[in-house]
Structure 1
Amino acid sequence: MAAGEVLRLLWGTVVYRPYVYVFLACFLAFALWQLGWKRTLTFALPAWAIAFAAEYSSTRNGFPFGPYAYFDGTRTRELWIANVPFWDSLSFVFLSYFSLALAAAVRTPRAARAEAPWPALLAPSTPLLGGLLMMLLDVVIDPVTLQGEKWFLGRIYAYPGDGFWFGVTAANFAGWFAVGAATQWVFQQALLRLPWCRDPWRRLPPVFAWAVLGTYAGVLGFMLAVTVAIGDLRLAAVSAAVSAATLVPLARALRPARALLAEPGA
């Protein structure tokens, strides 16, 4: 494919999927501030490659997301790589970053959140929480993207049978957890081993962790708004409950510990 055609299709992706690039811009703003450009690229490129490989594999042999197929009706209007739309695997990059950053934030004591990097960012168990947070995003995202023909997304993909969660299969959720945890673990290993990842870190203001939570909540809020707009109120109610059950504990984990009240007469 000629370079000019690639650029035309890439621009078509921006035109037809502007919401993806809004969240991608948020990722760049947050990651460049927290990680610097070298570590941002070190996160983004492997994360995209892992996500693309997972999607490419699943559409052929069902691993790790379970079997499904994309409909290539937009192939002449936006960028596809093989049988996978570029924007779809690109979405995993910012979703995985915000899940990892949020997992590291809630596992780092508030007094240590000005440190660089956050201590929990390198904790071996953090990608497990990050993978869970990424999977919880998909619990809200996938049922409404599966109905893309009812909104501006368009009919993008389908599973061969009805899944247990509003048409989405359990294998898909397991795959999201696995891909999220894998991309975050790979980044951790890069931080520990690659020389360009040892550059000085920028100290972060306390509000940074709350801004990460706000952006994570923004993804859920956008998908909830679409769910309401297409009139699937039962799904909207369930997704709102899942969102609340996810966000409330995270917000509580970010709050400073309450000071103990002094006893009367002390």
Structure 2
Amino acid sequence: MKQLIAIERFCLTGHTVALAFGLAGLLLVLPNPDFILALPAFGQSAFGLSMSGGGVVYILLGALTIAAYAYRVLGLQRWLTFMIPAIVLSLGSELLGTSTGFPFGEYGYLSGLGYKIAGLVPFTIPLSWFYLGMACYVLARAGLESVRLPVWARLIGAIAVGSLMLTAWDFVLDPAMSQTSYPFWEFKQLGAFFGMPYRNLSGWFGTGVVFMSVASLFWGKAPLNLSRAQLTVPLAVYLINFAFGAVITVAQLDARFWIPTALSAVLGVVPAIVLWWIAKPTATVAQLKTVLQARDLENESPAVPVGVSEK
């Protein structure tokens, strides 16, 4: 268990550092070519490698962070029954979108995000759907368990709120990745919503609803019983990725793009923090036993995680 926590923290730190280096490269280094030309040959090669592979690295580390977290906190079954539908269904949606324009609009991926599946979709894109989608869904489901609602309403609410938070992230991600000086994908025609077609937003929400609904069916009605401390990793991943897109959007695009950035904060960041805050402050020993049983780990003796109290 301690080794898994160490791996999880290492991946989260690497994910954060990779995003920070990406920001520095996009905002400070690339706009100043004299700095690059002043580097020795080795430095120029290293910089070129980091810019061409940086996107792949930060997405892989984000996916590894959430995978390690899900296995440790939720168990093997819940981890796989979310990850597999998220990756398969989001890849199908992206392949359909890049081929036909449905459900996101006419768009195509450029270079910088790794090998393209079928020559259309970088293999890292379904991984990003997985790790951000799972962060959103776990926050929504665990947070809503503290709200007095019928079970069915909490389950549907978790899918709806999780998908909304995922879509809200796209409010800053798409402008940052498609309309700045160094894009990673492009829309064939600029849409009415700050360069994005409205169906891109409905496509994001719909894709999230589909794979979160499939995962919810596998997970069943049993509560997650996660404490606030146990939700810190998904909250951190969400906030870090929001900050990455928001800083690029605000720094490189004109003042109009403060509007989608503000909408992203209101519809994504604020709910994420509120859901984390209203979650149970600590997990009781009885709740921990329920989680362990759901994970089929009765025969193991993991250390009691942070946030567990003997009540």
Shift of 1:228: 4.2
Matched, 1:124 2:156: yes
Shift of 1:233: 4.8
Matches within 5 A, 1:96-245: 96-109=133-146, 123-147=155-179, 150-151=181-182, 155-192=183-220, 204-229=226-251, 231-234=252-255, 237-245=258-266
User: What TM-score results when the alignment is normalised by the length of structure 2?
Assistant: 0.63
Deviations 1:111-140 (A, max 9, x none): 9xxxxxxx7897133212211111111111
Distance 1:250 1:165, change over 3 A: same
Instruction: Answer yes or no: is the 8 Å Cα contact 1:144–1:226 preserved in 2.
Output: yes
SS at 2:75's partner residue? helix
Shift of 1:93: 0.6
Question: Residue type of the partner of 2:242?
Answer: L
Question: Residue type of the partner of 1:170?
Answer: Y
Question: Residue type of the partner of 1:32?
Answer: Y
Shift of 1:25: 2.6
Shift of 1:68: 1.7
Instruction: Answer yes or no: is the 8 Å Cα contact 1:33–1:202 preserved in 2.
Output: no
Instruction: Answer yes or no: is the 8 Å Cα contact 2:140–2:162 preserved in 1.
Output: yes
Shift of 1:17: 2.1
Equivalent position to 1:80, from 113, 116, 130: 116
User: What TM-score results when the alignment is normalised by the length of structure 1?
Assistant: 0.72
Instruction: Answer yes or no: is the 8 Å Cα contact 1:14–1:21 preserved in 2.
Output: no
SS at 1:124's partner residue? helix
Shift of 1:226: 2.5
Equivalent position to 1:57, from 96, 100, 105: 96
Could you tell me which residue of structure 2 aligns to residue 264 of structure 1? none
Instruction: Answer yes or no: is the 8 Å Cα contact 1:104–1:120 preserved in 2.
Output: no
Deviations 1:222-259 (A, max 9, x none): 11222345x325255334422431323443454459xx
Q: Aligned-residue CA RMSD in angstroms?
A: 3.2
Shift of 1:208: 2.0
The CA distance in 1 between the partners of 2:65 and 2:139, in whole Å, is 14
SS at 2:156's partner residue? coil
Matched, 1:35 2:74: yes
Gap regions ≥5 residues in structure 2: 1-50, 280-311
Could you tell me which residue of structure 2 aligns to residue 18 of structure 1? 57
The CA distance in 2 between the partners of 1:235 and 1:218, in whole Å, is 23
Question: Residue type of the partner of 1:187?
Answer: A
SS at 1:97's partner residue? helix
Question: Residue type of the partner of 2:73?
Answer: Q
Gap regions ≥5 residues in structure 1: 1-11, 112-118, 258-266
Could you tell me which residue of structure 2 aligns to residue 248 of structure 1? 270
After the TM superposition, list the runs of 4 or more consecutive aligned residues in structure 1 that deviate by more than 6 angstroms. 119-122
Shift of 1:157: 2.5
Distance 1:120 1:87, change over 3 A: farther
Could you tell me which residue of structure 2 aligns to residue 69 of structure 1? 108
Shift of 1:203: 5.7
SS at 2:195's partner residue? coil
Determine what percentage of the aligned residue pairs are the same residue: 27
Could you tell me which residue of structure 2 aligns to residue 116 of structure 1? none
